Amino acid sequence: MEIHKAKIDRENKDKVSLSLEINDTLFNIPLTDDKPNEIKQVFNELLKELKNGLFKFELEQEEKQDLYYHTCSEYISQLNTELNSVYNELVDYELTNEE
């Protein structure tokens, strides 16, 4: 199983996001804006990647363990659980690109 990086992007205080990196591609989940379509789009891209094999994300450790950090930590935990579940269904229905 591959492990990919996740980090909190705090460069713009008004637009904090969770950045997920897969093969040099960044997917950003907004934390300070209500943009459900962007979140759906990221999840759809992750599902496409999941067809190539199971992976999970690990959140980079930060000195500043504030509300954003704890929220993202829980989000990553739940996302990894969901990815594992969806991957098992893809395998059951023979929908993966793996041999």
Extents of the domains making up the chain: 2-92
> What would the pLDDT profile of 2-54 be if each residue is shown by its tens digit?
999 999 999 988 899 999 999 999 999 999 999 999 999 999 999 999 999 99
Q: Please tell me the predicted confidence (pLDDT) of residue 7.
A: 97
Q: Please tell me the predicted confidence (pLDDT) of residue 12.
A: 86
> What would the pLDDT profile of 54-99 be if each residue is shown by its tens digit?
999 999 999 989 999 999 999 999 999 999 999 999 999 999 998 6
Coil, helix or strand for 6? strand
DSSP notation for 12-72: STTS-EEEEEETTEEEEEESSS--HHHHHHHHHHHHHHHTT--EEEEEPP-S---HHHHHH
Q: Please tell me the predicted confidence (pLDDT) of residue 13.
A: 82
The pTM is what? 0.92
Q: What is the Cα Rg of the chain in Å?
A: 14
Tokens of 35: 């943009």
Q: What angle do CA 65, 2, 22 make, to 5 degrees?
A: 70
Q: How far apart are CA 48 and CA 40, in angstroms?
A: 12
